[in-house]
Amino acid sequence: MKNFLHNSRHKTIAIAIVCVLGISSAYAMPKNIQALRKMYLSPKSQWQTPQVDSSVLWEELSALPDTPPYPESNPYSLAKAKLGEKLFFDPILSQSKQIACATCHDKELGFADGRSVSYGHNRQLGKRNAPSIVMSAFGKEKFWDGRAKDLESQALFPIADPKEMAYSPQKAVKRLAKDAGYKAMFKEAFGSDEITTERLAQAIATYERTLMPKNSRFDKFMKGQSQALSDKEVWGLHLFRTKGRCMNCHYGASFSDDGFHNLGLTYYGRKYEDLGYYHTTGNTEDIGKFKTPSLRNVVKTAPYMHNGLFPHLRGVLNAYNGGMFHPKPTQNTKANTGETKDKVRENLPYPKTDSLLKPLGLSSDEIEALEAFLKTL
């Protein structure tokens, strides 16, 4: 369990979470639950307006489309998807021939890996939690810090990362070109047996775009199956849209705004500092921001957050209920430690937790209902 919570690294935060658990009194199931069920089975124009801040350009929650979107530059084909699937599970793309995409994106774990941070080449530990690739077809920038502009770009990063596959896309395609089976599959997928880094990325991305939840109970409810959700889950849906303020960042069919937010987990000036989106953009307003993940399939993708801080979904909800974390600068904040030791700290403003995060006052029953709803996605 050494890796799971990074030991004392999160002790202060963990204590804060425990303190949040009892901040509200118990609350029974609302008497108007059948009225809520009727409302959510009605056209969305009749739904209660969600509780979101005026600055948020939200979209209403909805069922997923039957097929994922594909870009014109890389349209779907069955042959390409099959090739991408084989590549995804094959460690041939790594220097050691022991690490595959599936090493950190396990099908049985919602295409995450169940670790706070992942192991890679020579058992090296990364610094971030492996995000699920379910719902990869939706949204633009990829990775917690948005460093990949699209899914095709994302597919090549792990191959070259010295802590992941520790190889190079160029060497990988040369290795693939020596395999007659792969040459035949590339020919079927692309019309010729030429193997390039672009085709490698397109094949993997095509497969990854096929990965989205099929027939979730929430989707069935959205399509009119009135008993697909229990009373508690309908209540959770209502809380998600209203008192829980969840739609400030999680909305639409994907349950994500595809944006970047600071949740107060930057560890600024400390050993495990991670400045997130700032490393991609160089804009100081992006210090400490990380990409909003989709909540689809969320029950399978623990631990949660960019650093795998929370082993259980209930802990995440308790933290949000308390308004998340709003650290303040201390005397030692400007110490040059961690990954930014070569930067002039005085030029980096102290990161601010997103103003969308506020104490919610949810009771334990309401948190339980909200968690029950999330498990239907």
Residues 205 and 221 in one domain: no
pTM of the model: 0.87
Question: What sign does the dihedral 200-205-210-216 (CA atoms) show?
Answer: positive
Residues at the annotated binding site for heme c?
Answer: 101, 104-105, 121, 246, 249-250
Q: Which residue from 146, 152, 299, 155 is spatially nearest to 213, judged by alpha carbons?
A: 299
Q: Following DSSP, what letter does each residue of 188-241 receive, concatenated?
A: HHHSS----HHHHHHHHHHHHHT----S-HHHHHHTT-TTSS-HHHHHHHHHHH
**Stretch 103-116: mean pLDDT, rounded?**
92
Task: Tell me the percentage of the chain whose pLDDT exceeds 70.
Answer: 88
In terms of residue numbers, what domain contains 100?
78-209
Q: What's the rounded Cα separation, in Å, for the pair 269 and 255? A: 32
Which of 52-56, 71-75, 121-125, 163-167 is the least confident region? Answer: 121-125
Q: What's the rounded Cα separation, in Å, for the pair 298 and 364? A: 20
| Class of residue 15 by CB neighbours under 10 A (exposed 0-12, middle 13-18, buried 19+) | exposed
Please report whether residue 2 resides in a domain: no
- CATH number, residue 358: 1.10.760.10
Please report whether residue 70 resides in a domain: no
Q: What's the rounded Cα separation, in Å, for the pair 329 and 333? A: 6
Please report whether residue 38 resides in a domain: yes
Using only C-alpha atoms, the chain has a radius of gyration, in whole angstroms, of 22
Please report whether residue 72 resides in a domain: no
Last residue of a domain, one of 188, 209, 230: 209
Q: Which amino acid is at 62?
A: S
Express each pLDDT in 112-138 by its tens digit: 998 998 888 888 888 899 999 999 999
Residues 100 and 159 in one domain: yes
Residues 40 and 141 in one domain: no
Last residue of a domain, one of 194, 209, 224: 209
Residues at the annotated binding site?
Answer: 101, 104-105, 121, 246, 249-250
Q: Which residue from 319, 260, 318, 106 is spatially nearest to 115, judged by alpha carbons?
A: 106
Q: Is the pLDDT of residue 330 over 80?
A: no
Express each pLDDT in 213-232 by its tens digit: 988 999 999 999 999 999 99
Please report whether residue 122 resides in a domain: yes
Looking at the structure of the chain, the number of domains it has is: 2
Q: Is the pLDDT of residue 348 over 90?
A: no
Instruction: Please state whether the peptide bond connecting residue 69 to the residue before it is cis, i.e. omega within 30 degrees of 0.
Output: no
Express each pLDDT in 356-368 by its tens digit: 999 999 999 999 9
Residues 104 and 51 in one domain: no
The pLDDT score that the predictor gives to residue 252 is 98
Q: Which residue from 255, 340, 344, 348 is spatially nearest to 297, judged by alpha carbons?
A: 255
**Stretch 101-119: mean pLDDT, rounded?**
91
